[in-house]
Amino acid sequence: MAEQLSSRFDPKAIEGTIYQAWKDAGYFHVPASRVLEGGADPFVIVIPPPNVTAVLHAGHGLNNTIQDVLIRWRRMQGRASEWLPGTDHAGIATQNVVERLLAMEGVTRDDLGRDAFVDRVWEYVRETGGTILEQLEAIGCSCDWERTAFTLDPGLSRAVREVFVRLYDKGLIYRGEYIINWCPRCHTALSNEEAEGEEVVGRLYHLRYPFPEPSWGAAEAASHAGAEAIARLADGRWYLTVSTTRPETMLGDTGVAVNPRDERYAPLVGADVELPLTGRTIPVVADPYVDADFGTGMVKVTPAHDPNDFEIAKRADLPLLDIMTEAASLNENAPEAFRGMDRFEARDAVLVALETEGLLAGSDAHTHSVPHCYRCHTVVEPRLSEQWFVKTKPLAEPALQASRDGTVTFAPVRWKKVYEHWLENIRDWCISRQLWWGHRIPVWYCGDCSEVIAATEDPDVCRKCGGGELEQDPDVLDTWFSSQLWPFSTFGWPDDTDDLKAFYPGHVLSTAPEILFFWVARMIMIGYEVMGETPFRDVYLHGTVRDSQGRKMSKSLGNGIDPLEVVDRFGADALRFTLISAAGVGTDLYLDPDDLEASFSPGRNFANKLWNAGRFTLTSVGDAPVRPLPEVEADLELEDRWILARLDRATVSVSRDLERFRLHEVADTLYHFFWGDFADWYLELVKSRVQSEDDASREAARSTLVTVFDSICRLLHPLTPFVTEELWGRLPWPEGGERPEALIVASWPTPQPGRADADAEAQMAALQELITQVRSLRKEYGVGEGQEVSVVLSGAPAGFDDTVQTQGAALRRLARVGSAQSGAVPEHGVGAHAVLGNGTEVFLPLEGVIDVEREVVRLREEVQKLENHVADVDRRLANQAFVERAPAEVVERERDKARTAREQLAKLGEKLHHLAGR
RNA sequence: GGGCGCUUAGCUCAGCCUGGUUGGAGCGCCUGCCUUACAAGCAGGAGGUCGCUGGUUCGAGUCCAGCAGCGCCCACCA
């Protein structure tokens, strides 16, 4: 069998078949009955549903690999592991994509009309949507495909309506006219989270508004110290100065505000001022929001285009004047000269007009944060409009409590504070969107009696007046309104289904920190509100995938990595292993999109090494029956006991790190155990034994090989599922032992009692060091592999002599040592020296092979090193405080060190003396 | 303006919570090897004032404070 395997791992040859085998075996699907009747312990992850139109990028690759590692591990542990996949309809994003397609045909959504447009989007989604889910299969994700969900599915849509109506009935959803973030390109409202602040270097313009004659108050105000904003110009009139970064909004000003405690401007409160370019007159009002120390201490008030101004206007009873259209061009409320202009065009025009009239007092460079639409990047315009909101404070309470009391945990833990801070300062959530693609708001208005009806089922008649034409609210809900329900809507809520009983609440939620507020926090809030408990316990927030220059990978920058290309070139295992080993908890990953070879060769090489070690193990073990390990217990040799002890150590460490989401540590531990311990040492040590005539030795080696390699496959399976499945399936099963299943899902390794073997580990460590030292000395003295050497050991601790004698074959194989004798190092012999960590002095007689001068030089270095070491230790021991206060074992260790080092020093010194004298 | 994180080898990062052998890994680099599992490999090696300053301690990469540089998040200063 094994001979047929290629010496290079070819992922393409196995991935498809193996994935299909997993699916066919029903490996991924968990029926609720396994939990409810079978008593299995559930483990549930719901996928962060990618946009239905998305294609897989590096971030998805990382996130879904993480989830798959956790799911596969728990499944092997015997948990009923449910990983629910699906997609999000992604309101704005998807609508934008389709609108762009239509634009290429020269058609707008308005040309089509609402119904036809929505049909068109559905058509698009049916054709191309869900591609990303198929792509997840390519990287080995073991999702329960039988439960694939979409946020616009009928069931999930029913959940949306149900939640809306419940919140509405509780007064937690309300409608009102407020300043919201408006995207003039998408023509819709945005939530605060969807308006992303971006640093922009702009200008702060200072505008002058003239006081009408007679300007009582102005002169008085101007007499106050620091009242620079009030000035009398050459024309003899009094003016005040206000500042703004958006000069065009002055056309919508309905007042000027000052702080009520600001004595400078007290005489002006109640006065009127002329608003240039408009012919209107607006009042000066007092409002505590104004910061007297900032700028001139006077603020122009534009209630319809600034959230703060809106609040001031409400308090001061100023009128609201909306001067812009949906597209952010100036409307009929603006002076005729500016009507129809785009806001930025109008900005320039207003500046020119003011300048002409001598009313522009200048400008300063000004860096500030300007909100942009998170989908299309257009500058958001604050706009007065009637929208639906969720009252969030009551919902935030339990979600906050859950974090504070540890019901919900975050990894890395620093996100806990970020999450809590957001909830503590949460603002109401604007949920209505002026889009067509999404869940239409389940509210109807009666044309006759103005009754507002929120209902889960479309009503036929007005429940109040019985007649009247009913019209449904035209808006749809924010996409995140439906995705927040994901952990229960996907399992059948609002019905009381078995799935829900079995799989809610879930366990781990793994995602990118960017959507901590958008999605994670809201799921927790609504989970408590609707289900009465948290949707998951552990939130794992992974790092960002960046390019070699540290830039976040993105479509627009064109610096992304296509995981499918990586799979194609290096295999899914290589992709997964590379991503997991590179991703510390919450740390960013750096990959070079221009050099996939450099980025993914660690994973590719690892998979290949695994493949070859597997090939060798299979050939070594051969087809003959293998005896179960307990039967050969008495015949186990040093390296067998050692590798089994190392395996246990690795098993314990890996299981612990998985619990703590320290996946990169898992990868690191297994890398070193498999490559370092197993491949580099164990396989080399048993090479001669597996072909040996000595039945006991051979059988012990074969059993150990099978046992250890079986565990290696299992431990690595969550990380590199394909190659481990393939190799494991070919591994012979020990006689009499029942092969649990055809696939590796069988079980997760657990530490075996009696396998810890400190003695074997110590002996092996010394043996490894001896071999390494001999190799090193050979290299240094130029003694080639072709030349066999003998070794003299002196001062070896108990047991090590025996080890060396029984490991003659190993020494010969790995270090080309012909004979190893214990005894005094020849006093006058020429040779190479080294001292092992356990105090053993190693001497390679090389009389006639090396020249004496070189040996003297080397000895001098050795002596120097030892002297430094002794001085170091002595200094510490001479420190009274150290001896008195350090733990006894630490002090004892120091004394031992001093003693051994001195003995060695004496021997080497003597040797040096003799040689130097020659 | 608030909050958080990072700074250890040429590069990317572990190690710090819980202070104590001689500070690690991968990649890259140097040297020698096509040794019948693997050249996507094997063996050997070079490379570090652990950002700076101070403090606590017998002892600090590890704990504390300050500083500097970089990065992220939040925020209505016009």
Contacts of A880 (CB under 8 A, 6+ apart): none
Contacts of A390 (CB under 8 A, 6+ apart): A167, A172, A173, A428, A429, A431
- Which residue has the least CA–C1' distance to nucleotide B70? A550
Residue A460 above 80 pLDDT?
Answer: yes
Residue A826 above 80 pLDDT?
Answer: no
Give the whole-angstrom CA distance, residue A134 versus residue A17: 15
CA A268 from centroid of its chain's CA atoms:
56
Q: Å between A834 CA and B28 C1'?
A: 30
Q: Choose between A883 and A297: higher pLDDT.
A: A297
Number of neighbours of residue A177 by Cβ within 10 angstroms: 11
- Which residue has the least CA–C1' distance to nucleotide B71? A550
3-state secondary structure of A275: strand
Least confident of A265-269, A329-333, A486-490, A782-786: A782-786
- Tell me the pLDDT band of A740, cut-offs 50, 70 and 90: low
Return the structure tokens found at A140. Answer: 């080995």
Contacts of A221 (CB under 8 A, 6+ apart): A227, A230, A264, A265, A266, A267, A268
Are the C-beta atoms of A531 and A398 separated by less than 8 Å?
Answer: no
* Residues above pLDDT 70, as percent of chain A: 97
**Strand ranges of the sheet holding A538-541, from the earlier edge strand across to the other edge:** A409-411, A538-541, A508-511
Residue A587: nearest nucleotide (C-alpha to C1'): B13
Q: Hey, which residues does A196 pair with through a beta bridge?
A: A372
3-state secondary structure of A85: coil
Residue A363 above 70 pLDDT?
Answer: yes
Q: Which amino acid is at A875?
A: R
Residue A617: nearest nucleotide (C-alpha to C1'): B37
Measured torsion, CA atoms of residues A557, A563, A564, A567, in degrees rounded to the nearest 10: 140
- Tell me the pLDDT band of A918, cut-offs 50, 70 and 90: low
Can you say whether residue A471 is alpha, beta or left, with left for phi > 0 and alpha for psi between -120 and 50 degrees? Answer: beta
Q: Å between A577 CA and B21 C1'?
A: 33
Average pLDDT over residues A397-423: 87
Q: Which amino acid is at A604?
A: R
Residue A678: nearest nucleotide (C-alpha to C1'): B37
Average pLDDT over residues A94-99: 90
E strands along A51-97, which residues?
A: 80-84, 86-87
Q: Choose between A719 and A875: higher pLDDT.
A: A719
Residue A894: nearest nucleotide (C-alpha to C1'): B21
Give the whole-angstrom CA distance, residue A366 versus residue A205: 9
Number of neighbours of residue A357 by Cβ within 10 angstroms: 12
Residue A434 above 70 pLDDT?
Answer: yes
Residue A3 above 60 pLDDT?
Answer: no
Burial class (CB in 10 A: 0-12, 13-18, 19+), A291: exposed
Candidates A378, A370, A277, A384; CA nearest to A321 is A384
**Whole-number pLDDT of residue A456:** 92
Q: Å between A418 CA and B63 C1'?
A: 25
Average pLDDT over residues A697-720: 93
* CA A714 vs CA A14, A28, A343, A399, A901: distances in Å: 18, 17, 63, 38, 45
Q: Choose between A753 and A708: higher pLDDT.
A: A708
Residue A544: nearest nucleotide (C-alpha to C1'): B72
Are the C-beta atoms of A596 and A569 separated by less than 8 Å?
Answer: yes
* CA A614 vs CA A6, A7, A16, A606: distances in Å: 11, 11, 20, 12
- Which residue has the least CA–C1' distance to nucleotide B4? A414
Q: Which amino acid is at A896?
A: D
Residue A656 above 70 pLDDT?
Answer: yes
Q: Choose between A367 and A300: higher pLDDT.
A: A300
Please report how the helices A563-570 and A572-582 are oriented relative to each other, as an axis angle in degrees rounded to 10: 120
Q: Å between A765 CA and B23 C1'?
A: 20
Q: Å between A320 CA and B51 C1'?
A: 55
Q: Å between A793 CA and B62 C1'?
A: 38
- Tokens 């197993």 locate to A678
**Whole-number pLDDT of residue A757:** 85
Residue A319 above 90 pLDDT?
Answer: yes
- Which residue has the least CA–C1' distance to nucleotide B73? A418
Q: Å between A771 CA and B65 C1'?
A: 49
Average pLDDT over residues A384-395: 93
* Residues above pLDDT 90, as percent of chain A: 46
Q: Å between A833 CA and B38 C1'?
A: 33
Strand B nucleotides with an atom less than 7 Å from a protein beta carbon: 3-5, 11-14, 20-22, 25-28, 31, 33, 35, 37-45, 58-59, 71-78
Are the C-beta atoms of A144 and A83 separated by less than 8 Å?
Answer: yes
Length of chain A, in residues: 918
Are the C-beta atoms of A225 and A286 separated by less than 8 Å?
Answer: no
Residue A613: nearest nucleotide (C-alpha to C1'): B37
- Which residue has the least CA–C1' distance to nucleotide B24? A668
Q: Å between A897 CA and B53 C1'?
A: 35
Average pLDDT over residues A128-154: 93
**Whole-number pLDDT of residue A216:** 73
DSSP conformational letter for A671: H
Q: Choose between A487 and A847: higher pLDDT.
A: A487
Residue A239 above 70 pLDDT?
Answer: yes
DSSP conformational letter for A730: H
3-state secondary structure of A879: coil
Give the whole-angstrom CA distance, residue A188 versus residue A433: 5
- Tokens 């070491």 locate to A869
Contacts of A722 (CB under 8 A, 6+ apart): A11, A14, A15, A18, A19, A140, A571, A572, A573
Residue A620: nearest nucleotide (C-alpha to C1'): B37
Residue A293 above 90 pLDDT?
Answer: no
Q: Å between A778 CA and B34 C1'?
A: 21
E strands along A479-562, which residues?
A: 508-511, 538-541, 545-546
Candidates A748, A722, A723, A744; CA nearest to A733 is A744
Candidates A399, A398, A389; CA nearest to A429 is A389
Average pLDDT over residues A130-146: 93
Query: Average per-residue pLDDT in chain A?
Result: 88
**Strand ranges of the sheet holding A173-183, from the earlier edge strand across to the other edge:** A188-190, A173-183, A381-390, A429-430
Least confident of A414-418, A551-555, A608-612: A551-555
Q: Which amino acid is at A575?
A: L
Q: Å between A570 CA and B69 C1'?
A: 38
Give the whole-angstrom CA distance, residue A686 versus residue A701: 7
Q: Å between A527 CA and B74 C1'?
A: 25
- Which residue has the least CA–C1' distance to nucleotide B33? A785
Average pLDDT over residues A694-710: 92
Are the C-beta atoms of A595 and A578 separated by less than 8 Å?
Answer: no
Residue A2 above 50 pLDDT?
Answer: no
- Tokens 């740390």 locate to A587
Residue A587 above 80 pLDDT?
Answer: no
**Whole-number pLDDT of residue A905:** 74
Residue A579 above 80 pLDDT?
Answer: yes
